[in-house]
Amino acid sequence: MSNGILVFVEHRAGAINKISYEAIAAAQEIGAKLNQPVSAVLFGANFQDLAQQVAAYKLDGVVYADNEKLAEYTPDGYADAMEFVVRARDPFLVIFPHTYLVRDFAPKLSARFGKGVISDCIRAQMENGELVFSRRIFLGKIDADVVSNSDAPVFATFQSGAYRGETAEKGTGVSVETLAVEVGEIRMKPEPAFQEVKSAVDLTKAEIIVAVGRGIKGQENLQLVEKLAQILGGEVAASRPICDAGWLPIDRQIGSSGQTVAPKLYIALGISGAIQHLVGMKNASTIVAVNKDPEAPIFDIADYGIVGDIFEVIPALTEEVRKLKG
C-alpha cells in the first residue's frame, strides 16, 4: 500500500535551489493535512553535504541517491534515479518544485508510471476528503481545479511562490539514507552551463521600471515608453515577446527566463501578465497596470489599474508626470 509523500530537492552549483525549500514547505503542509510522513530525496555524486542540510528540516526521512552518472543533470539519469527511488519507497504523492530542470525530466518519469504530472500547481487543498490541486491556465487568465484519478503515485509540481520557503519547518535532524541507485545508459551529454555576455543593464538595481508588452504593437512605438521612463527616471523593460521579436535586447527582459526585479514602482504597459512574467516582478512595492482587457491577469496583482488604450494613456501620463516634476 503506497504511503507517504516524497519531495524532490533540486540543487545547482553546490547549493540547494531556493524553490526546493518551497517544495519542502508544500510537502510538509500537505503531509500534515493528510497525516502522512514526508521524505525528501536528492541526487548527485558525492553531494552528501547537501543531503545533511536537507536533513535539518522536519522530515521523516532523507534519501540521498548516489551515482557517478548523477554528477551532472541529464533527463535520462534523473528519470532512472527517480524511478528507482519511487519504486523503492512507494509513496502515494511525489512533489517537485516547478523548475526548468523538473519540467525536463518529471514528465519522462511519470510516463514510466503510465501517466502525466499535475504540473505547475499554485495550491493544494482538501475538499470532501480529496486532495484538489489548482493550476493556472490560459496564460494566467483562469484557474483550474484538478484531481488525480489514477492509482498512486501522483506526481505534482508547484510553481515558484506557491508556498513560502521560509515556512519550511526545521526539525531535530533525521538520518540520511544513502541509496545506491541504478542508472542506465545516458544518451545526452551536457556541456558546462554558461551565461551570455553579462547583462549591460542590471534591472535589479532600478527603483522604477517601465515595462512594455505585446500591446505596444510595433518597435516604432517604443519611443513613447522610453519617454515615460526618462521623465520618471526609470529603466525600460519588457515581457518576453518584445525581446523575442528583437525590439529590445534580451537583457531588458523580465520574467522566469529573464531578470527578477523588485523595484519601488513597476509600470506594466500592454502586458497581460502571464505567469512567466509575473514571477519576475510581483514583488515590486507598487505595481501599475495599463491594459485594454479588464480581465488581464496583470490586474490581479496591480495596486493601480487603468483599463484603456496604452497609446492614449502613455502620452497623457508622461505629460502629467512632467507637470508634477515641474
Partner 1 sequence: MKIIVLMKQVANKDAILRINKDQTWIEESDLSYEVNESDGYALEESLRLKEKHGGEVVVCTMGPARVKAVIKDALARGADRAIHILADDLPRPSPFAAASIIAGAIKDEQPDLIMSGLQSDDNSYAQTGVILAELLGLPHATIVIEVDASGEGLRVKRELESGWYQWYTMPKPALLTIQSGISQIRYATLKGIMAAKKKEIKEVTPTIDTNAASHQKVTKIYFPQKQKQTQFLGDGDAKAGAAMLADKLRTEARII
> Using CB under 8 A, which residues numbered 159 to 188 contact partner 1?
187-188
Is 230 a binding residue for partner 1 by CB under 8 A? The answer is no
Q: Which stretch binds partner 1 (CB under 8 A): 58-66, 87-95, 148-156, 217-225?
A: 148-156
x-or-dash pattern for partner 1, window 5-44, by CB under 8 A? ----------------------------------------
Q: From the list 49, 166, 191, 220, which residue makes contact with partner 1 (rule: CB under 8 A)?
A: 191
Pick 177 or 311: Cβ nearer partner 1: 311
What is the residue-wise DSSP string for 71-134?
SS--HHHHHHHHHHHHHHH--SEEEEE--HHHHHHHHHHHHTTTS--EEEEEEEEEETTEEEEE
Q: What is the rounded end-to-end Cα distance, in angstroms, of the chain? A: 72
Query: Does 227 sit near partner 1 (CB under 8 A)?
Result: no
Does 195 participate in binding partner 1 (rule CB under 8 A)?
Answer: yes
Does position 305 interact with partner 1 (CB under 8 A)? The reply is: yes
Check binding of 144 to partner 1 (CB under 8 A).
yes
Rounded to a whole number of angstroms, the minimum distance from the CB of residue 159 to partner 1 is 11
> Residue 191 — left, alpha, or beta (φ > 0 → left; ψ -120 to 50 → alpha)?
beta
Hey, which residues between 65 and 124 contact partner 1 (CB under 8 A)? 74-76, 79, 99-101, 103-108, 110-112, 114-120
Q: Take residue 120 and report the three cell numbers written for it.
A: 505547475
DSSP 128: T
- Which three cell numbers mark 173? 535532524
Cβ-based neighbours of 196, under 8 Å, separated by 6 or more: 250
Cβ closer to partner 1: 35 or 223? 223
Angle 75-89/100-111 helices, nearest 10 degrees? 60
Report d(CA 160, CA 99) in Å as an integer. Answer: 8
| Closer residue to partner 1 (CB): 51 or 106 | 106
Q: Is 140 in the site for partner 1 (CB under 8 A)?
A: yes
Residues 235-264 binding partner 1 (CB under 8 A) are 240-241, 243-246, 256-260, 264
Crossing angle for the helix pair 310-325 and 222-232, to the nearest 10 degrees? 20
Using CB under 8 A as the binding rule, whether residue 307 contacts partner 1 is answered as yes
Cell of 182: 541504478
